[in-house]
């Protein structure tokens, strides 16, 4: 990278930290990775965060933001590369904001993710030497079963689809993506051309004008069935039905073309209404030997094989005997509820979205699983209303973690065991601290699983048991 003729600040500079200035060049040795994926180093007693770096790098970074206790830097030159550094698999890895860790050796990614969980438990949760197992992993590339691409037009008027450049709303146009299922690549490249030929208008965030906003692709990893979703501000797209049928004829594995309507000025991808234009309104996926219907807006883990690893880790640790009552909170469409129901006496799923509850019930019927019950409502409201005492409660909340009222309700219910599944080590540690307060629960161990290879994100399952050791 270009360094021009600027002077850089040597590590032994005598000036005090308060003299740091935005725009200066500093030499930093990267000693750790942050939860957001940035390299972490120190200069003159203050932390410097540098994206696109690896533990063990010695780099030249330009200070782009200076605060009293830390600074944000931009990588200018790698002075000494880390032994954990490798060539990215993606040609636009330095621009695209989809991945943060393409430049990091995969084995070290797994180590870093375990460390992220461990450090959060110690620093935020206050746990003393918690047991965090080695990170389980499946596919490191070509694993995503879902991709939803924003659409845009280039300055020459060509339809583009891709991910936004890091820290911007500038779209990086893609014809393939090394972390999505390979079977989706031809659709991404060819459908852009079809949209171009149809002359459909493309939505502009700045002007809140135009129609097509996103192109969504989903695939059943174990079935090969593909579902396409166009997200538009309105349904008036000339020739849409004709084009949808043409896609079904062209791609043998394509089973559905849907249109989701989202006319709001929002960052949310999907609106509340989805119409099936051609084919069936869902795809089928096989998960843990069960058959699931997956709709365009259904939440389903993007890494099917990793989710199966997580499920097996949960079942193995719990060592279910078949007489337990299990409650799965934030159950979605029953992805974990239904496989675990086959190992217990009764399984109850709690979910705030009525549509997801209906899908969960459908999936139970498809698989002839009769010992389940799914309830729609807020978890903190439904937990105190349960008519029976559960032996195991499974928590799988959104990234923000559990509301305090959920944790209070759970402590009052006091099941014998809790499994907390989380995609955010910080909120996991925060919530576990509250659950273990006053010795009501004890943290046995945590199992990280790599759901999001080539990124800084990590999924994990924490196992709690009631009472002291």
Query: What digits encode the pLDDT tens for the residues 213-226?
Result: 999 999 999 999 99
Return the higher-pLDDT residue of 56 and 91.
56
Residue 363 has pLDDT above 80, yes or no: yes
Question: Does 14 score more than 90 pLDDT?
Answer: no
Work out the number of other CB atoms within 10 angstroms of the CB of residue 199: 10
Per-residue b or e along 258-291, where b marks 16 or more CB atoms closer than 10 Å to that residue's CB: bbbbbeeeeeeebbeebebbbbebbbbbebbebe
**CA 261 – CA 305 distance, rounded (Å):** 31
For residue 289, give both structure tokens.
């030997």
**What CA–CA distance (Å, rounded) separates 112 from 306?**
17
DSSP letter assigned to residue 439: G
Any catalytic annotation for residue 96? Answer: no
Mean of all residue pLDDT scores within the chain: 93
- Please, where in the chain does CATH 2.40.50.1070 lie? 146-287
> At residue 13, does pLDDT exceed 80?
no
Question: ∠47-51-54 over CA atoms, to 5°?
Answer: 85
CA angle 309, 296, 260 (to 5 degrees): 155
Q: Are the C-beta atoms of residues 51 and 93 closer than 8 Å to each other? A: no
Note the pLDDT of residue 345.
97
Q: Which of 43, 52, 54 lies closest to 21 in space, CA to CA?
A: 43
Q: How far apart are CA 464 and CA 441, in angstroms?
A: 6
pLDDT band at 18 (very low <50, low <70, confident <90, very high): low
Q: What is the pLDDT of residues 24-47, one digit of tens each?
A: 999 999 999 998 899 999 988 889
Q: Is the pLDDT of residue 348 over 90?
A: yes
Measured CA distances, 207 to 160, 211, 231, 265, 398 (Å): 18, 12, 17, 10, 31
Mean pLDDT, residues 194-207 taken together: 92
The ranges of the chain annotated as CATH 2.40.50.140 are 8-80
Per-residue confidence (pLDDT) for residue 10, from 0 to 100: 45
CB 281 within 8 A of CB 256: yes
Structure tokens at 469: 């050791």
pLDDT recorded at residue 44: 83
pLDDT at 5 over 50: no
146-287: CATH architecture = Beta Barrel (2.40)
In the chain, % of residues over pLDDT 70:
96
| pLDDT band per the 50, 70, 90 thresholds, residue 193 | very high
Q: Select the more confidently predicted residue: 14 or 405.
A: 405
Measured between alpha carbons, how far is 269 from 194 in angstroms, rounded to an integer? Answer: 22
CATH 3.40.50.150, the chain: domain bounds: 108-139+303-466
d(CA 356, CA 360): 6
Q: What angle do CA 166, 170, 171 make, to 5 degrees?
A: 95
- pLDDT recorded at residue 208: 87
The predicted-structure confidence for 60-116, as pLDDT tens digits, reads as follows 999 999 988 899 999 999 999 999 999 998 888 888 878 889 999 999 999 999 999
> Are 395 and 417 contacting, i.e. CB atoms less than 8 angstroms apart?
no
Radius of gyration of the chain (CA): 24
CA proximity to 116, closest of 450, 350, 354: 450
**Class of the 108-139+303-466 domain?**
alpha beta
The pLDDT of residue 469 is 62
**Beta pairing partners, 75:** 61
CATH superfamily of 8-80: Nucleic acid-binding proteins (2.40.50.140)
DSSP 133: P
pLDDT-derived band of residue 7, with 50, 70 and 90 as boundaries?
very low
Greatest Cα pair distance, the chain, in angstroms, is 73
| Two structure tokens written together for 246 | 């043409």
Bridge partners (DSSP) listed for residue 351: 376
φ, ψ dihedrals at 147, nearest 5°: -145, 130
pLDDT surpassing 80 at residue 19: no
pLDDT at residue 122, as a whole number: 97
pLDDT of residue 9: 45
Place of tokens 């003299």: 19
72 within 8 A of 63, measured Cβ to Cβ: yes
Give the pLDDT confidence score for residue 94 in this predicted structure: 81
Q: Which of these, 189, 198, 197, lies nearest to 160 by C-alpha position?
A: 189
To the nearest 10°, report the CA torsion of 179, 183, 186, 188: -50
From 90, 331, 402, 423, active-site residue: 423
């Amino acid at each position: 990278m270009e360094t021009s003729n600027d002077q850089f600040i040597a590590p032994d500079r005598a000036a005090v930290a308060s003299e740091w200035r935005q725009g200066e060049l500093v030499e930093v040795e990267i000693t750790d990775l942050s939860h957001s994926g940035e390299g972490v180093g120190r200069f003159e007693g203050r932390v410097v965060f540098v994206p696109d770096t690896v533990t063990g790098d010695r780099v030249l970074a330009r200070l782009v933001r200076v605060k009293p206790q830390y600074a944000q830097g931009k990588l200018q030159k790698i002075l000494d590369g880390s032994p954990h550094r490798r060539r990215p698999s993606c040609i636009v890895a330095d621009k695209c904001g989809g991945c943060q860790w393409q430049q990091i050796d995969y084995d070290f990614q797994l180590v870093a993710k375990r460390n992220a969980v461990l450090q959060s438990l110690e620093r935020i949760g206050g746990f003393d030497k918690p047991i965090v197992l080695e990170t389980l992993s499946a596919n490191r590339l070509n694993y995503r079963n879902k991709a939803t691409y924003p659409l845009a037009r280039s300055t020459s008027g060509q339809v583009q689809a891709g991910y936004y450049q890091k820290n911007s709303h500038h779209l990086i146009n893609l014809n393939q993506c090394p972390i999505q299922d390979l079977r989706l690549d031809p659709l991404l490249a060819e459908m852009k051309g079809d949209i171009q030929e149809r002359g459909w208008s493309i939505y502009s965030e700045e002007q809140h004008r135009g129609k097509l906003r996103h192109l969504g692709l989903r695939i059943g990893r174990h079935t090969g069935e593909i579902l396409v979703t166009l997200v538009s501000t309105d349904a008036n797209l000339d020739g849409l039905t004709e084009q949808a049928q043409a896609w079904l004829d062209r791609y043998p594995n394509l089973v559905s073309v849907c249109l989701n309507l989202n006319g709001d000025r929002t960052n949310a991808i999907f609106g509340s209404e989805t119409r099936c234009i051609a084919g069936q309104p869902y795809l089928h996926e096989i998960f843990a030997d069960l058959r699931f219907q997956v709709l365009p807006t259904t939440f389903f883990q993007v890494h099917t094989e990793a989710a199966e690893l997580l499920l097996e880790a949960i079942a193995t640790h719990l060592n279910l005997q078949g007489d337990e009552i299990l409650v799965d909170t934030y159950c979605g469409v029953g992805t974990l509820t239904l496989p675990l129901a086959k190992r217990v006496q009764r399984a109850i799923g709690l979910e705030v979205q009525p549509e997801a509850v209906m899908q969960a019930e459908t999936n139970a019927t498809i698989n002839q699983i009769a010992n389940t019950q799914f309830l729609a409502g807020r978890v903190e409201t439904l937990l105190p209303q349960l008519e029976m005492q559960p032996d195991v409660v499974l928590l799988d909340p959104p990234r923000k973690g559990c509301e305090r009222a959920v944790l209070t309700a759970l402590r009052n219910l006091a099941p014998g065991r809790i499994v907390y599944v989380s995609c955010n080590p910080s909120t996991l540690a925060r919530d576990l601290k509250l659950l273990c307060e006053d010795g009501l629960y004890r943290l046995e161990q945590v199992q990280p699983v790599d759901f999001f290879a080539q990124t800084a994100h990590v999924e994990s399952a924490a196992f709690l048991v009631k009472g002291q050791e």
